[in-house]
Chain A
């Protein structure tokens, strides 16, 4: 969908946990924390603090100092049951809010919905935020954090961090020009440790739909990034795209691979989680756009929509990907 009056990203911020801070993009994040609890009594509270910090930093960048902030809506999402991070942060932010769940695709989902609210004339300024936390996600989806187990090489490491974006009807900054809403795709992958392979078809589907819809080619973009396919999912996405006569080449990368140094850090195939695409985009890619090194960017956040209940009952993993085009 093309936006008639493309909304502008007037402020963005990324905050990240200790492992991410040691990654190749560590110096790009606006704030990093030395440990997983960041001075809170639980991982859940730590995640909430990160989301609030990211929102405050993004609002400051956008020049919005008043409390509660002068934004019309707060759109937020995370991975925890019943969206507790988003909702408790909403209490702190104190503006009208919609909680969003698209698993790890929530970042581009929030951007797309925020952009449409503005383009439709329903809002002047929207604050979007997403977060994920390794410890909080591990205990909810997998095992207690101190449980000793060997992970498969294609398993992924949930990114600890939060990203926030302030969208406005006018101003200086990159614009959101196109949104492509993904369909739920399920190619039958049922292994919850292999989310990259499960999500790759959704990513390819959405990229294909986006190119068809806009009439653009892959080369139109300086960079296309998927959210959190990690190294194995990335490989599968490239191969699946090739099967469909779509060549994803040099200008295609994955945020889950970019956020860590896979050879040096103990993260298996790479990152996952809402924060993967959020902190790479807010922390690194938007800054690259400001530096003039990127002009046209397509962010395709990918989400696997399973729950511990659904996979324990033997169901495969439904997945989704949403694309937003950012242009300087």
Chain B
């Protein structure tokens, strides 16, 4: 392999890209996976605990208790974001905190906090969904598609 002068530009580029790709330090995948498994599991266990709590306190069914549980987890994640701990936890936990509703809450709160200085309307209002917007848009689109498919399936049956 030579990336010398005289070698054509496209050749140099592709040789260099190969060299970079081969030597890029890989993220510690196993450690990340284990951390995500453990931390995600902890978040879910906590969620179960909160569900039981609301079930007893509000005297509602387990299924009904899911709604206040989500609210509680969103509140906790937003609080941790506001206090500046969430990003430090997420650096270690990774997907364990990003995939549950906590990640969504963090994306919203972090954006709202960050753009507070640009004002209530264009700052918080306009930018709050900067990261989370995609989740909502594609969540709604997917729900719509699944809804149509289920409807058709029911009609056929």
Binary per-residue interface labels of chain B (105-126) against chain A in the complex, 1 for a CB within 8 Å, 0 otherwise: 0110111011101000000000
What distance in Å separates the Cβ of B34 from its nearest Cβ neighbour in chain A?
Answer: 13
Give the residues in chain A near B97, CB-CB below 8 Å. 148
A144 touches B111 (CB 8 A): yes
What distance in Å separates the Cβ of A95 from its nearest Cβ neighbour in chain B?
Answer: 29
**Cβ-defined partner of B86 (8 Å) among A148, A188, A235, A244:** A148
Give the residues in chain B near A245, CB-CB below 8 Å. 4
Binary per-residue interface labels of chain B (1-45) against chain A in the complex, 1 for a CB within 8 Å, 0 otherwise: 111110000001110110110011111000010000000000000
What distance in Å separates the Cβ of A247 from its nearest Cβ neighbour in chain B?
Answer: 15
Task: Give A42's nearest chain B residue, CB to CB.
Answer: B117
Task: Give B89's nearest chain A residue, CB to CB.
Answer: A148
Q: For the side of the interface on B, what is the size category?
A: 35 or more
Binary per-residue interface labels of chain A (227-245) against chain B in the complex, 1 for a CB within 8 Å, 0 otherwise: 0000010011001100111
Task: Give A233's nearest chain B residue, CB to CB.
Answer: B20
CB of A88 within 8 A of chain B?
Answer: no
Do A144 and B131 form a contact, CB below 8 Å, given A153-B27, A240-B16? yes
A187 touches B24 (CB 8 A): no
Do A146 and B91 form a contact, CB below 8 Å, given A232-B25, A243-B2, A244-B3? no
Give how many A residues have a beta carbon under 8 Å from the other chain's beta carbons: 31
B106 touches A147 (CB 8 A): yes
Give the residues in chain A near B27, CB-CB below 8 Å. 150, 152-153
B131 touches A194 (CB 8 A): no
Give the residues in chain B near A293, CB-CB below 8 Å. none
A148 touches B113 (CB 8 A): no
Give the residues in chain B near A220, CB-CB below 8 Å. none
Do A144 and B17 form a contact, CB below 8 Å, given A149-B90, A243-B1? no
Q: A-side interface residues toward B, CB under 8 Å?
A: 41-42, 139, 143-154, 186-189, 194, 197, 201, 232, 235-236, 239-240, 243-245, 266
